[in-house]
Amino acid sequence: MLVGILLAILDPTAISHLFGKETGFIGVFISSMIGSITLMPGFVAFPTAHLLLQNGAGYMQIGAFISSLMMVGIATLPVEMKYFGKKITLTRNLLAFLFTFVVALVIGRVVG
d(CA 47, CA 51): 6
pTM: 0.87
Burial class (CB in 10 A: 0-12, 13-18, 19+), 85: exposed
Neighbours of 49 (CB within 10 A): 20
**Contact criterion met (CB below 8 Å) for 45 and 81:** no
Write the DSSP symbol of residue 74. S
d(CA 7, CA 38): 16
Over the stretch 17-61, which tens digit does the pLDDT of each residue have?
Answer: 888 889 999 999 999 999 999 888 888 889 889 988 988 899 999
Write the Ramachandran bin of 20: left for phi over 0, alpha for psi from -120 to 50, otherwise beta.
beta
